[in-house]
Structure 1
Amino acid sequence: MRALLVHNPHATATRPAVTDVIAHALSSELKLDVEATQRHGHAISLAADAVGAGYEVVIAHGGDGTLNEVVQGIAGTDVKLAVIPGGSTNVWARTLGMPNDAVAATSLILRKLGEREDRRVNLGVANGRYFAFCAGLGYDAEVVRMVERRIRMKRTVRQASFLWCGFLAYLAGRGQDALLSLTVDGEPTHAGLRAVVCCNSSPYTYLGPLPALVCPDADLDRALDVTGLTRVGLLSLARLARAALTSGNVDRLGHVRTWRDRDRYEVVATAPVPLHVDGEFVGETDRLTLGTARSALTVVA
């Protein structure tokens, strides 16, 4: 089987020695080529080129940002995706049941490839960009943007960087000023939202070993779920975090609105607000269209 390993040497938890071990293990059973990303967005072109070159599987080693870029290049094709965790959180890999240890994940991937264990799953689409597990408009996207500006901090303290930047974003009031209006499958508009999170799978993220169930019923085999917040004050965010990390009953909170298993959402904001997909900041927008790409990706899982 012809395979391409795309690795991000700057991902939070990647190390050259570990990447060498992974490549050696993979090459023992696969016809393997290895490419390192050199810049933001590079994994997109590497994955797309792999499709044209006839590779059967692309193996992404890095964080969720690297994974998202690879997805852009192979979605809608027959090329399989395998994921080896190398970031600070590794949401997608853990959602697929991969070990959070890169070497252990490599061993599992080889077994699954040998036994042809794979499945076709849905992807989300946010303004034309695919996402594997989540997209966020507003406060959480501002947190992602602030973390991306602090790469050294992220590599040093990992997930704690998101907690710190979440506090900084709250103090600065960023991602909190605009009002968002949501239309669901053409139904009447739901106004007065301050932030929107859309999930293609659950969990939304992890805090250490704890899954954060912001859209607890989201599933790779269904359409998209959305959770909207009418308030993003410190107490409201703390209550949301507590519910997401303990019971998953976020819909019982007074400032939370939820929609499940819908094919299309449209969001209009009173001012441009930050947007992220799979934990990667992609810019600001005042209009967002969310949809489902059915059976768009084959994953080794």
Structure 2
Amino acid sequence: MRALLVVNPAATTTSARTRDVLIHALASEMKLEAVTTEYRGHARDLGRQAADSDDIDLVVALGGDGTVNEVVNGLLHGGPDLDRLPGLAVVPGGSTNVFARALGLPNDPVEATGALLDAVSDKRERVVSLGLTAGTPGTADESVPARWFTFNAGLGFDAGVVGRVEQQRELGKTSTHSLYVRQVLRQFLGEPNRRRGTITLAREGADPISDLVVAIVSNTTPWTYLGNRPMYTSPKASFDKGVDVFGLTRLSTAAVARYGTQLLTSSPERGPHGKHVVSLHDMDRFTLHSKVPLPLQMDGDHLGLRTSVTFTGVRRALRVIV
């Protein structure tokens, strides 16, 4: 087996020495080419090169969810093709690693490498669904290129939090869970549409759902982790189905206290619920429109402001070695 290893040198939970050990372990079991990313979007470019190559069987992403997202978007630049495209494997190296953990991989990169080598030896793989976004035809965002996401995307409040965290990281702050909590509070205090949202969800064959303040689209569950605690906005979301949507029509102080508590105590059996909650399961296609430009995030990456985004749940999109 010939594999391309895409290494993010800025991965927050792996040192240079640890990465060297992992590279040697992988190289002992496969014909490995290791490339260290040098700029934003480099992992996407490497994934694209692998997709266009005739002799790469596997692409391994060593990094966080952002690195995985870039590799996936490179691999699928021409669309899904299970028979032709290389498979994907992940060695978690970020602060959260939602995609890897949702696949059942250990969060420790050394243990995850051992699990990956076992999976390669046993020829274990899984075909997963993915989410796809694009600008909506007939709107100001129609020229926005399509982009894949592996575990979640969000328009509005949660994307605003992601944007704030990225700003802090650019100022030299370390990505920690306490940093995220602080930015959640700041985003809440600065949210101008807490009591009446600007987002409308439109789908074929159903009435639109309006006045959403929060719209989180999940391709799997959990939504994210707070330390080792998984949090479930859409407990039924699955890599085997379309995407799920969790929405809130109010973010008052009382609503935040209620649904925040439910989120912290959520489980695979039950997520946040109540009169201000919108929950949709196994969606193939829908559009989120906003009256004002709102931040968009995918897989924890802030992508700027949007007024209209169309989401598609694409089944059987990619082979993953697990």
TM range (shorter): over 0.9
2:142 paired residue number: none
Check whether the contact 1:142–1:175 (CA below 8 A) recurs between aligned residues. Answer: no
TM-score using structure 2 length:
0.89
- Name the SS of the counterpart of 1:10 in structure 2: coil
State the shift of 1:41 in Å. 1.3
CA distance in 2, matches of 1:44, 1:62: 13
Distance 1:65 1:237, change over 3 A: farther
1:285 aligns with 2:306: yes
Distance 1:221 1:242, change over 3 A: same
1:205 aligns with 2:224: yes
Check whether the contact 2:263–2:272 (CA below 8 A) recurs between aligned residues. Answer: no
Distance 1:224 1:111, change over 3 A: same
- Name the SS of the counterpart of 2:319 in structure 1: strand
CA distance in 2, matches of 1:174, 1:48: 40
State the shift of 1:178 in Å. 5.4
1:215 alignment partner AA? S
1:135 aligns with 2:142: no
Superposition pairs of residues 105-124 of structure 1, within 5 angstroms: 105-124=112-131
Larger relative helix fraction:
1
Distance 1:205 1:175, change over 3 A: farther
CA distance in 2, matches of 1:235, 1:247: 18
1:179 paired residue number: 198
2:110 paired residue number: 103
CA distance in 2, matches of 1:174, 1:69: 32
CA distance in 2, matches of 1:48, 1:208: 33
State the shift of 1:153 in Å. 7.7
Check whether the contact 1:274–1:285 (CA below 8 A) recurs between aligned residues. Answer: yes
Counterpart of 2:287 (choices 242, 251, 266) is 266
1:146 aligns with 2:164: yes
CA distance in 1, matches of 2:172, 2:114: 27
2:21 paired residue number: 21
- What's the CA shift string for 1:114-152, capped at 9, x where partnerless? 111001111011222111110000000010011111227
Check whether the contact 2:60–2:89 (CA below 8 A) recurs between aligned residues. Answer: yes
- Name the SS of the counterpart of 1:66 in structure 2: helix
1:139 alignment partner AA? F
Distance 1:262 1:157, change over 3 A: closer
Q: Which moved more, 1:21-30 or 1:77-86?
A: 77-86
- Name the SS of the counterpart of 1:171 in structure 2: helix
TM-score using structure 1 length:
0.95
Distance 1:11 1:235, change over 3 A: farther
State the shift of 1:186 in Å. 3.8
Gaps of 5+ in 1: none
- Name the SS of the counterpart of 1:298 in structure 2: strand
Superposition pairs of residues 49-60 of structure 1, within 5 angstroms: 49-53=49-53, 54-60=55-61
1:160 paired residue number: 178
RMSD: 1.8
- What's the CA shift string for 1:165-184, capped at 9, x where partnerless? 11111222278585011113
CA distance in 2, matches of 1:155, 1:119: 36
State the shift of 1:157 in Å. 5.4
2:304 alignment partner AA? G
Check whether the contact 1:194–1:232 (CA below 8 A) recurs between aligned residues. Answer: yes
- What's the CA shift string for 1:47-78, capped at 9, x where partnerless? 11112223111111111111111110113242
- What's the CA shift string for 1:232-271, capped at 9, x where partnerless? 2344233223212323434522221111111111111001
2:124 alignment partner AA? E
Give the length in aligned residue pairs: 301
1:257 paired residue number: 278
1:73 paired residue number: 74
- Name the SS of the counterpart of 1:22 in structure 2: helix
CA distance in 2, matches of 1:175, 1:40: 33
Gaps of 5+ in 2: 135-145
Distance 1:234 1:64, change over 3 A: farther
Structure 1 vs Structure 2: percent identity of aligned residues? Answer: 39
Off by >6 Å, runs of 4+ in structure 1: 152-155
